[in-house]
Amino acid sequence: MEIGKAHIVRKSIFNFKVGQILTLIRYGYQAYFGEYNFVFTDMDNKNIYVVLSDSEDDDMKIYHHLEEYFEKLDSK
């Protein structure tokens, strides 16, 4: 996933619904906590925070297969 790019939700995950358009505005990894942090903004410019822990198997399954859940929108 690219920062600053809009993505459409392909498969419901967290509180996101299929067809929802989100823009990834920030991404980072906190080594001390072992967390992958994502900040999205929706079409209403509301920030949505998602944290995936590398100590949780379910979180890592999601992290390693983000392309199943999100598709980058073409900027044509």
Show the domain range for 68.
6-72
Q: How many residues does the chain have?
A: 76
Q: What is the mean pLDDT of residues 5-19?
A: 94
CA distance 44 to 23: 11
Residue 1, in any domain of the structure: no
Question: What per-residue confidence (pLDDT) applies to 75?
Answer: 57
76 pLDDT more than 80: no
pLDDT digit string, tens, across residues 20-74: 999 999 999 999 999 999 999 999 999 999 999 999 999 999 999 999 999 999 7
- Total tally of structural domains belonging to the chain: 1
* Burial (0-12, 13-18, 19+ Cβ within 10 Å), 59: middle
Instruction: Enter the pTM of the model.
Output: 0.85
Residue 51, in any domain of the structure: yes
